[in-house]
Structure 1
Amino acid sequence: MTERMNTTEIFDGVRFPGFIHTPESLKAACSFQFQDTDILLVTFPKSGTTWMQQVLSLIFCEGHLWPIHNLPTWARVPWIEQISFDSLHSKRNTSWPRLFTSHLNAKGLSPALMKSKAKVVYMARNPKDVLVSFFHFHRIAGFLPNPSSFEDFVDEFLEGTGFFGSWFDHVKGWLSLQKDLTLFFVTYEELHQEPRFTIRKLSEFLGRPLGPKEEDIILEHSSFSFMSQSNIVNYSLLSKEIIDQSEGKFFRKGVVGNWREYFTPELNEKFNAVYQSKMGDSGLCLPWTMD
């Protein structure tokens, strides 16, 4: 597999790391047969994906924590567009509904989804925090190029020419389907600020209402301190060639607003102008400030 480490796949105009995607795996995801009981987590990278994979697993494991301590998140809630999907999917826990993850945009995936009543959990995060987290991830992931500079990375992000495409198109594309899909919209910020309330709302949407004790178990095992220390969750099971955590941790900070340490006033102004032009008329109610 390592020979694909530096390859790039272009699929429907969007760049994907070839180490974990092939044209076949991407096409297969777009024609995947969803079942009515399936639950799909969709995110743009670095928007709290691993965190929500952990929360979803905990909601459905009903206090039986063996999978939480023994199965990596990517095996419990696998990415449908990745090369590893078939092998992981065949080993899944059949006592749960099928839980999946995707970073694909709505244009590619929604036609397949609309053929079922599958539930979608769409998680978003302040794009400035996404950008900073993605910048650091590029530095530790062997299958992504090392950014030349933070400023260049910002430009690529704003233009939507980086890996996984445009954050703006991703968010707007998925949220424009709220009337067409059974979709629960949640943000990193909400889960960070009001974890119990947010998890309760999510579990009700999923038809799995929780008792206070179950909520306590979920809060404990989806906390930053638990996840960052768990080898099953923190990606330390992967080889150094894939993710080199001597260069920086996969779980870096788990905070809101860390972008302020990286953005100069000039970069901030530039970002805000693009954000306003792309999101100003979206009509979306997003719980973050651009200041």
Structure 2
Amino acid sequence: MNKPRLLSGHETELLTSEELRKASEDLLKYKSGLVRILPDGWLYPAITTRYLDRLYNMELRPDDVFIIGFPKSGTTWMQEILWVMLRNPDLDPNNEEMKEPLWVRSLDVSFDLHLDNDKLAKRDIKSLAEKFSRVCSGKKVEDGMAIQIAESQPSPRVMKSHFPLELHNKDLLKKCKVVYVARNPKDVMVSYYYFIRAMRNANYQGSLEKFAREIKKGDFRFCPYWPHVLQAWRQRDNPNLYFTTYEDMKDDIMGQLRNINKFLGKNLTKEQLKKIAEFTSFSSMKTRGEPIDKAFFREDMWKKQGGMFRKGIKGDWKNHFSPELNQEMDQWIRDNVKDTGLNIQYAFADASPTK
């Protein structure tokens, strides 16, 4: 029996009742069920297939810039950097768009899959829903709010996506610029864990160790991890893709801004870049407030964990991983980067706590 196909050509396969029985309780909150997209087995709410077909057909513009990365890899940080560089490089305080939250002025085109969750109410995404009503009059929410707002945005558009490269329009790297952000997978696990625990429509109840192993097995939304990163890594010499890491950004943000400036062909001055570095620093972004509606998260957990901008450090996994879990994940990393040329030696740092 043939499996349904996306416009991208990928086959889709609904999880069986037995697979659903074994799935994380968090994933069972989606009304449409769960689907894997083959051959890599990307795991999403089944409704995602509708949005992926729409994304595949999205009309691309030559000045579009996409930020792509696995969740909690530093994409929000990069999103603010790119939006400011392209739409307000002088940091004009009177810029009207700057009055909007980041997730409204720079759309996450992979967000709409959350709309299938029966715990998500309009009050949780108030600013996004208001913008949809304003700029997408007559359009259907079920066709995706974020992606339809993105379609209506003026150029140059800065869009984020947690979908892997291959699920986007086949001409993405021919027509647009893509900045891919990767991060030490052990830090991704820790950051993603705290994020998921605080989401109102998720409220993950398992331990960090359980969550890390679900990511490792590819049994959580947006997984598997390695095909996501390696697809982009294999395109690192494509002139329309800039591959960077959260760690590179933390170690030398000015160097990264100079590289991105050149990649985008912006010719911003050293002084402009310096001000952008300050404006998009962890402390500055945290002071300005959340880039997404606070109601999207459980208030008790959000306050306890420090909000969207929790720590902003590298190596936080050292404060959370047991020696046994660390050994297991290091082997998983070695197995997946072998013979790829991808240098993530930082993943094997010593296990002393990071302040």
Q: TM-score range by the shorter chain?
A: 0.7 to 0.9
Deviation at residue 161 of structure 1 after TM alignment = 1.4
Deviation at residue 160 of structure 1 after TM alignment = 1.5
Mapped pair 1:15 → 2:43: yes
Identify the residue that residue 88 of structure 1 maps to in structure 2: 149
1:62 and 1:214 in contact (8 A); partners too = yes
1:9 and 1:22 in contact (8 A); partners too = no
Identify the residue that residue 31 of structure 1 maps to in structure 2: 57
Closer, same or farther: CA 89–58 of 1 in aligned 2, 3 Å: same
The structure that has the greater radius of gyration is 2
Mapped pair 1:230 → 2:230: no
1:76 corresponds to which letter in structure 2? R
TM-score by length of 1: 0.87
1:39 and 1:98 in contact (8 A); partners too = yes
Identify the residue that residue 62 of structure 1 maps to in structure 2: 89
Q: Give the SS at the match of 2:303.
A: coil
Runs (4+) off by over 4 Å: 239-244
Identify the residue that residue 219 of structure 1 maps to in structure 2: 277
1:106 and 1:174 in contact (8 A); partners too = yes
CA RMSD in angstroms, aligned pairs only? 2.5
Distance 1:274 1:42 in 2: 23
Q: Which runs of 5+ in 2 are unaligned?
A: 1-26, 113-143, 350-355
Closer, same or farther: CA 239–155 of 1 in aligned 2, 3 Å: closer
Identify the residue that residue 79 of structure 1 maps to in structure 2: 108
Distance 1:153 1:127 in 2: 13
Distance 1:79 1:107 in 2: 17
1:41 and 1:100 in contact (8 A); partners too = yes
Bigger shift: 25-34 or 4-13?
4-13
Identity value in percent:
28
Bigger shift: 166-175 or 177-186?
177-186
Trace 1:272-283 onto structure 2 (pairs within 5 A): 272-283=330-341
2:76 corresponds to which letter in structure 1? T
Q: 1:175-214: per-residue Cα shift (whole Å, max 9, x none)?
A: 2123456100111111111111111111110011221221
Trace 1:37-52 onto structure 2 (pairs within 5 A): 37-52=63-78
Q: How many residues align?
A: 282
Distance 1:22 1:219 in 2: 35
Mapped pair 1:250 → 2:308: yes
Choose between structure 1 and 2: higher helix proportion: 2
Distance 2:234 2:204 in 1: 33
Q: Give the SS at the match of 2:73.
A: coil
Closer, same or farther: CA 173–240 of 1 in aligned 2, 3 Å: closer
Mapped pair 1:126 → 2:184: yes
Q: 1:75-111: per-residue Cα shift (whole Å, max 9, x none)?
A: 222122333224432553x3x4121111111231262
Closer, same or farther: CA 277–16 of 1 in aligned 2, 3 Å: same
Mapped pair 1:99 → 2:158: yes
Counterpart pick for 1:266 among 324, 335, 341: 324
Mapped pair 1:159 → 2:185: no
Q: Give the SS at the match of 1:216.
A: helix
Q: 1:92-134: per-residue Cα shift (whole Å, max 9, x none)?
A: 3x3x4121111111231262415x4211100111111111000
Q: Give the SS at the match of 2:76.
A: helix
1:157 corresponds to which letter in structure 2? I
Distance 1:205 1:258 in 2: 30
Closer, same or farther: CA 5–277 of 1 in aligned 2, 3 Å: closer
Distance 2:73 2:212 in 1: 16
Q: Which runs of 5+ in 1 are unaligned?
A: none
2:165 corresponds to which letter in structure 1? A
TM-score by length of 2: 0.72
Closer, same or farther: CA 110–91 of 1 in aligned 2, 3 Å: closer
Closer, same or farther: CA 38–243 of 1 in aligned 2, 3 Å: farther
Distance 1:11 1:242 in 2: 32
